[in-house]
Amino acid sequence: MIKMYGIFKHFQDNEVLKEINMEVANREIVAVLGPSGSGKSTLLRCINGLEEISSGRMDVNGIMVDAAAPKKTRQKNVQAIRLQTGMVFQQFNLYPHKTVIDNVIEALITVKKTPKEKAVQKGETLLKRVGLMDKRNVYPSRLSGGQQQRVAIARALAMEPAIMLFDEPTSALDPELVGEVLSVMRELANEGMTMMIVTHEMKFAREVADRILFMADGRIVEDAAPAQFFSSPQSERAKKFLHQVMDN
């Protein structure tokens, strides 16, 4: 569960998030849409503590981060949130000198101190789940972009996060490789994972998401069910955005 109360985020004098209030329930799939520069990535990065919020407070799975709290308290809580949230980026950032299985279990061993044998077992289960058990011992450079992204998803899942955050997970992929990554995400959604997904894949957002958050200029301008958002967007910004993406 994610709750944000009056969140602002600025970089110097650039206010990137403006009074964000929103909730994501457990098992909910929320797609975050909006034009370039509207603050979608920053929203996700604030949730998992890659960026510090400038003001406001948020509750991620029961862990509260208040911008007004002492720095030490904030840092401790952000650390705890990191363990609850798995993040998958546009760039997969796998360790090039580690095999696929070692990439997947790295954080289990270094952060969670899981014994190697147990970590390997878990890693193998996850590789089967993303359909890459046969690539267990190869290096990332031998994989396609879609396969690398599936490894990155397995790596995030290895930490057993309560929430998965996806930041344009298919944007760096050749079009023919997008489907294999979306299908892993579809499965996760069906299994009841709580997910926030920044995406340009409108068909996926429409079919898989429970809710659409549409952002423009750092604000959540619309918060609606996909059927409603896509058929009758309320704001001029959303109408214009949909015209542009549907034309492409």
Ligand X SMILES: Nc1ncnc2c1ncn2[C@@H]1O[C@H](COP(=O)(O)OP(=O)(O)OP(=O)(O)O)[C@@H](O)[C@H]1O
| In the complex, minimum distance from the CB of residue 227 to ligand X, in angstroms, rounded to a whole number | 24
Among 2, 38, 49, 150, binds ligand X (CB under 6 A): 38
Residue 145 β-bridge partners? none
Q: Could you give the CA distance from residue 80 to residue 156 in angstroms, rounded to a whole number?
A: 15
Residue with Cβ nearer ligand X (39 or 146): 39
The answer to whether 95 contacts ligand X (rule: CB under 6 A) is no
Q: Which residues pair with 24 in a beta bridge?
A: 2
Helix-strand-coil split of the chain, %, nearest 5: 45, 25, 30
Total of residues contacting ligand X (CB under 6 A)? 11
> Among 22, 34, 156, 188, which residue sits at the site for ligand X (rule: CB under 6 A)?
34
Answer yes or no whether residue 40 interacts with ligand X by CB under 6 A. Answer: yes
Listed ranges 38-46, 53-61, 128-136, 144-152: which one lies at the site for ligand X (CB under 6 A): 38-46
Give the contacts of 196 (CB within 8 A, at least 6 positions apart).
2, 24, 30, 31, 32, 44, 47, 163, 164, 165, 166
Check if the beta carbon of residue 165 is closer than 8 Å to that of residue 82: no
Residue 11 is a binding residue for ligand X (CB under 6 A): yes
Distances (CA, A) of 168 to 50, 87, 92, 248: 16, 11, 11, 17
**42, 84, 147, 149: which one binds ligand X (CB under 6 A):** 42
Measure the CA–CA gap between 231 and 220, rounded to whole angstroms. Answer: 18
The answer to the question of residue 248 lying near ligand X (CB under 6 A) is no
Least Å distance, CB 17 to ligand X, is 8
Q: Which stretch binds ligand X (CB under 6 A): 32-40, 80-88, 141-149, 234-242?
A: 32-40
Q: How far is the CB of 44 from ligand X (least distance, A)?
A: 8
CA distance 243 to 19: 27
Among 20, 41, 216, 237, binds ligand X (CB under 6 A): 41
Told to check if 137 binds ligand X by CB under 6 A, we report no
Q: How far is the CB of 38 from ligand X (least distance, A)?
A: 4
Those residues whose C-beta lies under 8 Å from the C-beta of residue 197, and which sit 6 or more positions away, are: 29, 30, 31, 32, 165, 166, 169, 185, 204, 205, 209
- The answer to the question of residue 39 lying near ligand X (CB under 6 A) is yes
* Interface ranges with ligand X (CB under 6 A): 11, 14, 16, 34, 36-42
